[in-house]
């Protein structure tokens, strides 16, 4: 939960072989394996995941299971540009770096190579569920959906829509946009037909979308009951341009609302510069926010006031926003979310407010998992280890070879201390903090999605 890590020690988790659903969670077992065997003596119907802290201490490791990461905003097509953004800010970054790359993915071979790489990399970094943007191209977007199914990643795949204020070499007509959006949605729903992969309607952002297009896309989203993703209030020049283009709308958020694009299934990336009235509109619609801290620092977009949005009751998750963000790692985005919140605090004079805007370790790890699950309306299915949810998990090992986590023998967690009193729980919290700040993909031993092993290190 927000602000709270649920640490369960000496735990056995049973996962149904057929459905990948969690059947039982037993904590504080004297012997977790015996507990599991009591449920099913032959371990035939389910796979049992056991972490005994005593056993891991003996093996010289500090291991724990953690829910899989949720990336609520990632441009699969921009993966080759990770780290390349120079001194640009949003609008010139799009023109200089992003549109040329996206346009090159009309080539289906280039698209297949790029999308294969991005799924491998996100899985390796513990991302079990992602909301992807592709490009304007229908066929290469189908390839992305195919690859998500093949590699078993839980994913939303959206074809980017843009019919104005875009370069002539990378723009579609309203007719092309309508046809390709419908084609992709129907392909994913009817032909691909995977429980893991869903379509998502993707108007790029208000600047590149005509009123006619946005209205059409809102109708498609409603007709097929699918979610919507777009960008909102990322950069001050962007906001000025939107206000010029849509003079009859009260705010940037109001542009989406007026065109029927703001509802409980909408994912709004960035939201760095929201006005009070816009926060109200988003709350009324129950739309979700994707906080992209690395992107917002890299493109000098600003600092999203995440803690305040959460306190208002808004749904917030994390987004890598590759390649505005330079890494697919949601762990690193969680770390940066914490730092960005402290930079925000440093802009404040009022010492009480200063403390109030800071995000904690537990807060950012919530954003990385359950927060994201809520934004994507999947919190009944993923985000935590609870009976009835699917097993989307990563096995973390802080002692994995050649990693950067510094743990000394006296910091290791052993069973006796874990059981004795509350202080030892603090120890486990320190282990998790070490992982957040010093860990990386090398600490991820295995990744499961819907109970199936999808990555092993």
Q: How many residues bind Fe ion, per CB under 5 A?
A: 1
Minimum distance of ligand GUN from residue 205's CB (angstroms): 4
Binding pattern to ligand GUN, positions 45-84, x when CB under 6 A? ------------------------------x---------
Q: Between residues 35 and 333, which has the closer beta carbon with respect to ligand GUN?
A: 333
Minimum distance of Fe ion from residue 322's CB (angstroms): 8
| Residue 321 lies near Fe ion (rule: CB under 5 A) | yes
In angstroms, the CA 445 to CA 457 distance is 5
Minimum distance of Fe ion from residue 249's CB (angstroms): 21
Stretch that binds ligand GUN, among 90-98, 309-317, 343-351, 381-389 (CB under 6 A): 90-98
Stretch that binds Fe ion, among 315-323, 371-379, 385-393, 436-444 (CB under 5 A): 315-323
3-state secondary structure the chain: CCCCCCCCCCEEEEEECCCCEEEEEECCCCCHHHHHHHHCCCCCCEEEEEECHHHHHHCCCCEEEEECEEEEEEEHHHHHHCCCCCCCCHHHHHHHHHHHHHHHCCCHHHHHHHHHHHHHHHHHCCEEEEEEECCCCHHHHHHHHHHHHHHCCEEEEECEECCCCCCCCCCCCHHHHHHHHHHHHHHHHHHHCCCCEEECEEECCHHHCCHHHHHHHHHHHHHHCCCEEEEECCCHHHHHHHHHHCCCCCCHHHHHHHCCCCCCCEEEEECCCCCHHHHHHHHHHCCEEEECHHHHHHCCCCCCCHHHHHHCCCEEEECCCECCECCCCHHHHHHHHHHHHHHHHHCCCCHHHHHHCCCCHHHHHHHHHHHHHHHCCCCCCCCCCCCCCECCEEEEECCCCCCCCCCCHHHCCCHHHHHHCHHHHHHHHHHHHHHHHHCCHHHEEEEEECCEEEEEC
Q: Which of 269, 430, 268 shows the shortest CA–CA distance to 362?
A: 430
- Judged by CB under 6 A, the residue of 137, 149, 198, 231 near ligand GUN is 231
Minimum distance of Fe ion from residue 251's CB (angstroms): 20
Which of positions 68-97 make contact with Fe ion (CB under 5 A)? none
Q: Between residues 94 and 393, which has the closer beta carbon with respect to ligand GUN?
A: 94
| Residue 234 lies near ligand GUN (rule: CB under 6 A) | yes
Q: Residue 205's binding partner, choosing from Fe ion, ligand GUN, none, with beta-carbon cut-off 5 to 8 A by kind?
A: ligand GUN
Which of positions 182-221 make contact with ligand GUN (CB under 6 A)? 204-205
- Judged by CB under 6 A, the residue of 163, 172, 321, 332 near ligand GUN is 321
Q: Residue 147's binding partner, choosing from ligand GUN, Fe ion, none, with beta-carbon cut-off 5 to 8 A by kind?
A: none
Minimum distance of Fe ion from residue 290's CB (angstroms): 8
Q: Between residues 296 and 443, which has the closer beta carbon with respect to Fe ion?
A: 296
Which of positions 94-113 make contact with ligand GUN (CB under 6 A)? 94, 98
Cβ-closest residue to ligand GUN? 324
Cβ atoms of 289 and 375 closer than 8 Å: yes
Q: Between residues 102 and 424, which has the closer beta carbon with respect to ligand GUN?
A: 102
Mark residue 164 as left, alpha or beta (left: phi above 0; alpha: psi -120 to 50; beta: remaining).
beta
Q: Between residues 70 and 268, which has the closer beta carbon with respect to ligand GUN?
A: 268
Q: Residue 204's binding partner, choosing from ligand GUN, Fe ion, none, with beta-carbon cut-off 5 to 8 A by kind?
A: ligand GUN
Q: Between residues 269 and 431, which has the closer beta carbon with respect to Fe ion?
A: 269
Q: How many residues bind ligand GUN, per CB under 6 A?
A: 11
Cβ-closest residue to Fe ion? 321
Interacting residues toward Fe ion by CB under 5 A:
321
Interacting residues toward ligand GUN by CB under 6 A:
75, 90, 94, 98, 204-205, 231, 234, 295, 321, 324
């Amino acid at each position: 939960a927000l602000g709270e890590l649920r640490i369960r020690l000496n735990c056995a988790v049973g996962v149904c072989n057929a459905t990948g659903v969690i059947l039982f969670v037993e904590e504080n077992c004297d012997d977790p394996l015996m507990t599991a065997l009591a449920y099913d003596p032959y371990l035939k119907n389910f796979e049992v995941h056991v972490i005994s802290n005593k056993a891991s201490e003996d093996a010289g490791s500090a291991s724990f299971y953690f829910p899989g990461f949720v990336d609520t905003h990632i441009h699969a097509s921009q993966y080759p540009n990770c780290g390349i953004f120079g001194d640009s800010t949003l609008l010139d970054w799009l023109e200089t770096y992003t549109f040329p790359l996206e346009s090159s993915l009309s080539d289906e071979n280039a698209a297949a190579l790029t999308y294969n790489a991005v799924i491998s990399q996100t899985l390796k970094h513990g991302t079990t569920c992602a909301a992807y943007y592709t490009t304007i191209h229908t066929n290469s977007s189908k390839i992305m959906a195919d690859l998500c199914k093949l590699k078993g990643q839980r994913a939303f795949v959206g074809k980017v829509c843009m019919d104005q204020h875009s370069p002539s070499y990378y723009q579609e007509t309203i007719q092309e946009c309508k046809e390709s959006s419908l084609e992709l949605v129907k392909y994913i729903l009817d032909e691909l037909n995977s429980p893991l992969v869903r379509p998502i309607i993707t108007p790029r952002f208000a600047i590149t979308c005509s009123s006619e297009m946005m209205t059409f896309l809102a109708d498609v989203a409603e007709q097929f009951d699918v979610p919507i993703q777009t960008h909102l209030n990322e950069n001050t020049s962007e906001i000025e341009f939107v206000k010029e283009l849509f003079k009859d709308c009260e705010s940037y958020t109001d542009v989406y609302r007026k065109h029927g694009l703001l509802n409980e299934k909408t994912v709004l990336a960035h939201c760095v510069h929201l006005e009070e009235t816009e926060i109200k509109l988003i709350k009324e619609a129950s739309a979700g926010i994707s906080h992209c801290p690395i992107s917002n620092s890299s493109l000098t977009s600003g600092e999203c006031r995440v803690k305040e949005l959460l306190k208002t009751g808004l749904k917030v998750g994390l987004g890598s926003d590759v390649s505005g963000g330079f890494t697919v790692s949601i762990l690193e985005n969680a770390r940066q979310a914490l730092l960005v919140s402290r930079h925000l605090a440093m802009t404040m004079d009022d010492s009480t407010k200063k403390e109030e805007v800071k995000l904690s370790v537990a807060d950012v790890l919530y954003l990385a998992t359950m927060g994201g699950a809520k934004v994507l309306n999947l919190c009944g299915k993923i985000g935590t280890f609870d009976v009835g949810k699917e097993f989307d998990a990563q096995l973390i090992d802080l002692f994995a070879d050649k990693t950067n986590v510094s743990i000394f023998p006296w910091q290791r967690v052993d069973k006796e201390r874990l059981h004795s009193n509350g202080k030892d729980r603090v120890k486990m919290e320190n282990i998790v903090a070490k992982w957040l700040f010093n860990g990386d993909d090398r600490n991820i031993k295995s990744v499961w999605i819907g109970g199936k092993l999808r990555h092993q290190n």
